[in-house]
Amino acid sequence: MKIFLTGATGFIGGSIAAGLLKDGHEVIALVRKPEQSSAVAALGMTPVLGDLNDSDIIIRQSREADAVINAASSDHRGAVEAIIEGLAGSGKTFLHTSGSSIVGDASGGQASDRIYEEDALPEPTADKAKRVDIDNLVLAAASRGVRSAVLCNTLIYGHGRGLARDSVQLPRLRRQAEKSGIVRHVGPGRNIWSTTHIDDVVEFYRCALAGVTAGTFYFVESGEASFGDMSQAMAEAMGLGKAQDWPLDDAIAEWGYEMASYGLGSNSRVRGHRGRQELGWAPSAPSVFDWIGKDMLKA
Ligand SMILES: NC(=O)c1ccc[n+]([C@@H]2O[C@H](COP(=O)([O-])OP(=O)(O)OC[C@H]3O[C@@H](n4cnc5c(N)ncnc54)[C@H](OP(=O)(O)O)[C@@H]3O)[C@@H](O)[C@H]2O)c1
């Protein structure tokens, strides 16, 4: 297939691109910096210069592709509208990347026993309402003749398989620890996130490309862990002392409001049944603790 991909230079998109190329697909990659074009081309993709705000380019590339994967941003409404515009009436597949902070509770590191299922999502907090609106727009595109689906990823760990190596959450904890000599978690670190390895994420997109059901929301998860336990595993892997609590305000000063409150300081506990039952997805990569202990520090 000829696949139009956004985010090909990023962590998720670059890893998806590597998987697609291995499967023999042609990948047309949106890149926003001219200097990225040659790196993307060297990997075997066809670069198209443009930004997520360039609706005309996105509409045209979506129209000319057999399928579209948006892995650049879970929060850019204009790009999603343009992709849907380009694909409307075609019956072609559109996989949109969302993130499970949509169920995040910004608990300041406290625990929660709330677990969310794909068919019973909560009302989002005000901070996450716009992201959920975009997800709903993608799902509604099924009624405009698009085989659209939302792939809602959880905390992704592992090394990227493309140009970008680092994911969003755990590498931030690690960089802070490298600077300060102490691994810190938000508040008491009792907050829990569902997790998946990037290789299993790539496999999920592969399965979805082959068999997604139009208008379906999928959680991509294969386990869960508390930030306290992940931080402690990281401290042991890095040869540092015990992981320590950090007041939310200090965490916000280091990581910013969104990352400290949602990315690192909330609960996001979800269960994804549809990928396993409908798409045949069978995650097989190491657990987050195995990855932190054995692979995180490898180059
Ligand atoms: N990693 C996770 O654990 C995770 C989990 C769930 C959801 N998500 C969400 O998934 C999305 C991608 O995550 P990621 O970890 O792959 O992030 P990333 O490594 O920062 O990659 C983002 C990619 O999108 C591109 N991009 C961003 N804004 C763009 C714009 N305006 N125009 C064109 N290209 C643009 C970037 O291009 P440049 O190279 O030019 O910067 C890069 O290729 C984010 O919205 C993130 O919140 C991530």
Atom 44 in ligand 1: residue holding the nearest Cα: 73
Distance in Å, CA 282 to ligand 1 centroid:
25
Instruction: Please give the structure tokens belonging to residue 215.
Output: 């208008």
Distance in Å, CA 240 to ligand 1 centroid:
30
pLDDT, one tens digit for every residue, the chain (299 residues): 999 999 999 999 999 999 999 999 999 999 999 999 999 999 999 999 999 999 999 999 999 999 999 999 999 999 999 999 999 999 999 999 999 999 999 999 999 999 999 999 999 999 999 999 999 999 999 999 999 999 999 999 999 999 999 999 999 999 999 999 999 999 999 999 999 999 999 999 999 999 999 999 999 999 999 999 999 999 999 999 999 999 999 999 999 999 999 999 999 999 999 999 999 999 999 999 999 999 999 96
163 close to ligand 1 (CB < 6 Angstrom): no
Three-state DSSP class for residue 142 = helix
Residue 29 belongs to what H/E stretch?
strand 26-31
Q: What pLDDT is recorded for position 264?
A: 98
Distance in Å, CA 167 to ligand 1 centroid:
9
Report strand pairing: 223-226 vs 244-246. unpaired
What is the atom index within ligand 1 of the atom nearest the CA of 72? 24
Distance in Å, CA 27 to ligand 1 centroid:
17
Cα 171 from chain centre = 14
- Please tell me the distance from the alpha carbon of residue 123 to that of residue 118, in angstroms, as a whole number: 13
- Cα-trace Rg, the chain: 19
Q: What pLDDT is recorded for position 184?
A: 98
Which has the closest alpha carbon to 69: 57, 79, 56, 54?
A: 79
Atom 28 in ligand 1: residue holding the nearest Cα: 72
Which has the closest alpha carbon to 146: 62, 98, 90?
A: 90
Which has the closest alpha carbon to 142: 61, 218, 216?
A: 216
Distance in Å, CA 241 to ligand 1 centroid:
33
The DSSP secondary structure of 230-273, one letter per residue, reads: HHHHHHHHTT----EEE-HHHHHHHH-HHIIIIITTS-B-EE--
Distance in Å, CA 17 to ligand 1 centroid:
13
**Domain range 2-107+114-158+197-221+273-279, its CATH number among 3.40.50.720, 3.20.20.70, 3.30.420.40, 3.40.50.1100:** 3.40.50.720
What is the atom index within ligand 1 of the atom nearest the CA of 164? 19
11 close to ligand 1 (CB < 6 Angstrom): yes
Atom 31 in ligand 1: residue holding the nearest Cα: 52
Can you give the residue ranges of every domain in the chain?
2-107+114-158+197-221+273-279
246, 186 Cβ separation under 8 angstroms: yes
